[in-house]
Every structure is written in C-alpha cells, then in structure tokens.
Amino acid sequence: MKAVVFVKEGQMALEDRPLPELKPGHILCKTLLSGVTNGTERNSLMGGNYGGTYPAQPGYQNVARVVAVGESVSTYQIGDVVFSGGHHKHVGYFAPDVSQPEHPDNLIQKLPEDLDLRWACMFGMAAVAMHDVRRSEVSLGEKALVVGAGSVGLFTSQIARAAGANATICDLDPARLDIAKSVGIVHTVRIENDETWQQIKASGPYDVVFEDSGAPILDKIVGHTWGQGLITKRGRIIVIAGRADVTYNFNAGQSHEATLFHASHFDRSDLKEICRLVTECIVHVEPLIKDEVPITDAPSIYERLRDL
C-alpha cells in the first residue's frame, strides 16, 4: 500500500508499506479519504516543535471502510464506514484496536449513511475544537474570543456559538474571516495593527479566549502589566496551537486571576458529539474544504504547505 512519508525537512514522498496485520480485537480498514490540514502537518514537515525527526508519517483523519474484523470483534461489521481519529497515518489500510469499543481512547466512529464523507475527513480538527470548547466550560451568554481562523479556530468559533457564547473571531487573513461569516460567525475582526487590538479590547472583556494561532501574542491577551488584558476577572485562556515556549507577564495574569488551560487531541465523547453536530448541520464543514485530490497528487499539496 502507499503511504505519505516526510523523508526530510520540507520533502514528502509516497512510499510502499506492507499491509497491517489483523490481530484479535482489531479491524482492518481501507482508507477512502484522509484529511490534511496546515497546522500540525506543516509543523512536522518543516521541523517545527512537533517534528524534526525524519522519516516521519503524518495523518490522523481517516475515513475508511471496514474490510475485515478480527476475532472477538462484534461492534463493527464488514462494510461499515468509519472515521478514525487515531494516529494511523495517511495510508491505504490501517488496523485499529477496537477491543474496548466505548473506551475514551477508541477514536473509531461509525458514520451515518447520509453524511458527506468529505465532511467526515475533517472530524479530527473539529473534534480538537470540541475538546477545547468543552475544556473551557464556556456557557450561554459568555463572551468568547477566538484568535486565529484556521481550521481549528473556525470549528472552535462554531462550537462555542452552539454552546451559547457570543463569539468573536479574529485573523490576519480576510479570506479566512469570509469563511467564518459563511458559517454563521457574526463578529469577525481583521488584525492589522495595534489599533485593531485596542478595538478588540474595547468590545470585551472576554470570559474565554481561545488562542488558536500559535503566534506569540499572550501579551495581547493577558496584558503587558497589571490590569491591561482582554479578559474578565478570572477569565480563561485556552492555548491550543502547537508551540515550544510560552511567556506572559505574570503580574498581568495575576491581576485577572486568569486560568490558563492546555488541551491535547480529543476523546471518544468529543468525536461522537462532533459527528452529531455536523450531521444536524449545527457545525458546518463544507466551506473549510479547499481541495480534493487523489493520493498520487499528494506531493503537490505538501509543496503548497511547505511554501506558505
């Protein structure tokens, strides 16, 4: 089978790999679609804080058909179409462990027959956003600011809005903000300079800020010194995008009695909820999809990511 491999920094290749072994308690899945996003994969491709070791194999958004089931498996049947959020790579076949079907770490979700499978191949990013919003405990009527309108940020703003928050999203790229508007986010702000940040602050303060950009801007959120940030008293900051070191002014954080959350990946309950919200058209995926190409064209996609 073919597999996407980062052979060295900035270079991707399609390589042959053996078919996985079908063990008891596992299922053999044939990949139909495999979702690619800029954040984690470009980070790994270019030797960022997630990468630097080669060869490496990316991928954790597989839509697949079950083609064989191992001994003792009863929850999944041959022919089922599933999403996998495990790190099974961009490969032709994979064989996940489903021996504990309701365990939080089982990230194999059966898909409804009427669901567009192209939408499902983005469930990894959407479930990350679901996990982050649930970690924040944002609630009805609270003000939420999402910094960064990439895939995770666009899903985060939709899910926060579904939870009842008054959501604002900001980004440098107006095209991303157009997507945000198309999925129902009313309050969008293009970041251009410090004056823009002052406008964002004036629209606050915010009960929750989701920092989804990966940029070194905690000083904007927490403030440079005592009492100057964007957040309310005891406001929450969810730091999501990958990064190495994080710095902020402690006195500023102390002045707000701020809470800083970390979040990592997602669990089964997040995946089930995002499947429901997308199926019920509460969270929208279609505007976030830019390309659909055969696996043989994967090099061109990674060249674009490399050269951003």
Mean pLDDT, range 258-264, rounded to an integer: 92
| E strand or H helix that includes residue 43 | helix 38-45
Per-residue confidence (pLDDT) for residue 50, from 0 to 100? 81
**Cα–chain center distance at 307:** 21
Q: What percent of the chain has pLDDT over 70?
A: 100
pTM of the full predicted structure?
0.95
Is residue 72 a part of any domain in this protein?
yes
Residues 228-249 have pLDDT tens digits of 999 999 999 999 877 888 889 9
Distances (CA, A) of 221 to 103, 145, 201, 204, 227: 36, 10, 9, 11, 11
Res. 308: pLDDT tops 90: no
Answer yes or no: do 80 and 169 share one domain: no
Is residue 114 a part of any domain in this protein?
yes
Res. 195: pLDDT tops 90: yes
Answer yes or no: do 112 and 133 share one domain: no
User: Identity (one letter) of the amino acid at 127?
Assistant: A
Res. 253: pLDDT tops 90: yes
Q: Is residue 56 a contact partner of residue 6, using CB atoms and an 8 Å limit?
A: yes
Higher-pLDDT residue of 155, 215: 155
Q: Which has the minimum average pLDDT: 51-55, 57-61, 79-83, 270-274? A: 51-55
Is residue 271 a part of any domain in this protein?
no
Is residue 268 a part of any domain in this protein?
no
Domain carrying residue 220: 124-262
Per-residue confidence (pLDDT) for residue 49, from 0 to 100? 82
Answer yes or no: do 118 and 132 share one domain: no
Residues 78-105 have pLDDT tens digits of 999 999 999 999 999 999 999 999 999 9
Mean pLDDT, range 138-161, rounded to an integer: 97
Q: What average pLDDT does the structure give for the chain?
A: 95
Answer yes or no: do 222 and 241 share one domain: yes
**Cα–chain center distance at 76:** 26
Place of tokens 């058209």: 281
Mean pLDDT, range 190-204, rounded to an integer: 94
